[in-house]
Every structure is written in C-alpha cells, then in structure tokens.
Amino acid sequence: MAEPSNPPFVENRIRALLFLQKKKDMPYEEWRHYWMGEHAQIVLGVPIVRRNFLKYEQLHVNREWKERLRQSPGMRVPDFDGVVVLEGESLEKLAEVTQDPEYIEKVVADAVNIFQLENTIQGAFNIAVIADKSAKDAKPVVGCFIREDVGRVLLPLHRKDGSSHAEFSQHWLNVHAPLFKHLLATSASISKYEQLHVQQGSGVSPGSPLDWDGVGVFEAKSLANAMEVFADERFVKIATEDGAKFVSDGQSDIFPCDVVTLIDN
C-alpha cells in the first residue's frame, strides 16, 4: 500500500515570524531580560492581543550555539538576536493587532527602545506539521521565562536558482518531507518537525519581507537534542542528496533558539 501523502496545511491558522536585532548599545543580558519581562507584559496587557493571538512566543537566539556554529563549514547564523512567533486564525486577525492604536501606542513605542526596528525582516507562513511525537495531553508551559523543556531550531531555505516558489514548495512538502518523516520516526532527539511555507508578499507589520521560501522548524526537549539531528549521517545524506534538487547551493542559514511561550491556545 502506498505511503499516505503528507497532510495539507493546517486550516484556520497562520504563523508570522519577525526577525529582530537588539539595540546596539544595550547589553545583551539587560535586553534579554527586559524583552521577556517588561516588554512581554506590555504586549499581553493590550486586550486585542489575547483576543486575536492563538500563539505568541519569543525565540532568543542562543549565543553559545551561535558561536559554535560560526566554526561549522556550511552553516551561518544570520545577525539577528530574536524572533517573534505569532499565530492567528488568519493574516487579517494578526494585522488587526499590529494596526491597533493601543498596540502601536504601547507596544511599538516600547519596542523602539530595545530593537533596531528598521532592520526587522518578517513574513507570514502556511504551516505543515510533518512529525509530532509530543504528548497530546501536555499542558502548555506559559510564562515570562526561558523554557527548560524545549529547544527549537529554525532552518530557513532558499529555492534553487531557476525554480519557482510553487515548485520549491511542492517538492519540499511532497518529496522531501516523507524522507525526513521516516528518519524522525526513528530519532530519539526530535519531538516535532514542521515546514513553514511562505505566503509571498504577505506580512503583518512594518519591516522588510524576508527572502526565504520556507523555514524548517525542529523541536526537541533541549536545544542540544535538537542540534543532534544535524550531525546524524542519515540527515546529512537526505539534506545533501535530495536538497540539491530544490534548495539553493551555498551556506545554510540556521537559528538555534531558546523558547519563551507567552500565549499558546
């Protein structure tokens, strides 16, 4: 019997990612604690945020892993310090928040003090869940702190020169994903793998549109566990051989991230 195809994109849910740089003159630890403390509380205090956001997370790019990866040939950590993850029922629901007068007055005004907003890149994505071994009855771990139960790696991808975004998306979802799905089923490290397929031309806030065509999301019980898969010979073989058919040559971008979950519905 043929292997069932991968599920279609998650219905009635869209995800946005905003890649951010901290203010240059702000010490890293001061910035990190303020972002997940005071700034997060300002965001959560705006009523439309809790009405419209199904998920709100901060991903803090792990500095130790960032330095390690600088020494790895073929891997590049772009110069961003954090990523905001937003989910809602639609792009319009997310945009309602970022265009809300109270949100602009409080959240954006505070963000100016801790981020170089002019360097923000952002995009909206359809979500495909390829593998999920997490407990279905697990309660979300929510709060203004770095979670100790999860680590996450973002792997942005550019399509191969000469191919269209539609061709990239079709191959990634229907050819590449089944190869990884089998690998991850036998992997003790990765608990969840998602593909984020960019909605071209879409965004939820001011900022330059990102030029990636998709972002792979690998989740494990720790960041060290999540990084293990990238050293797995089976992973490297699939990524190299099949990746050559649809992914651009050159360095791979990667974001090793600590996770702060503030809303999870």
The confidence score (pLDDT) of residue 74 equals 77
**In the chain, which residues have pLDDT < 70?**
1-7, 201-202, 251
Domain membership flag for residue 178: yes
DSSP secondary structure of 59-126:
EEEPHHHHHHHHTSTTEE--S-SEEEEEEESSHHHHHHHHT-HHHIIIIIHHHTTTB-GGG-EEEEEE
Domain membership flag for residue 23: yes
Domain membership flag for residue 3: no
Domain membership flag for residue 7: no
Domain containing residue 114: CATH number: 3.30.70.100
- Cα angle at 87 between 84 and 93, to 5 degrees? 115
Domain membership flag for residue 9: no
Total domains in the chain come to: 1
Q: For residue 181, give its domain range.
A: 14-264
**The pairing of beta strand 121-132 with beta strand 208-209:** parallel
**The pairing of beta strand 55-61 with beta strand 214-220:** unpaired
Domain membership flag for residue 1: no
Domain membership flag for residue 186: yes
* β-bridge mates for residue 265, sequence order: none
The confidence score (pLDDT) of residue 255 equals 97
Domain membership flag for residue 176: yes
The confidence score (pLDDT) of residue 7 equals 64
The confidence score (pLDDT) of residue 6 equals 58
DSSP secondary structure of 144-198:
SS--SS-EEEEEEE-BPTT--HHHHHHHIIIIIHHHHHHHHHT-SSEEEEEEEEE
The confidence score (pLDDT) of residue 5 equals 54
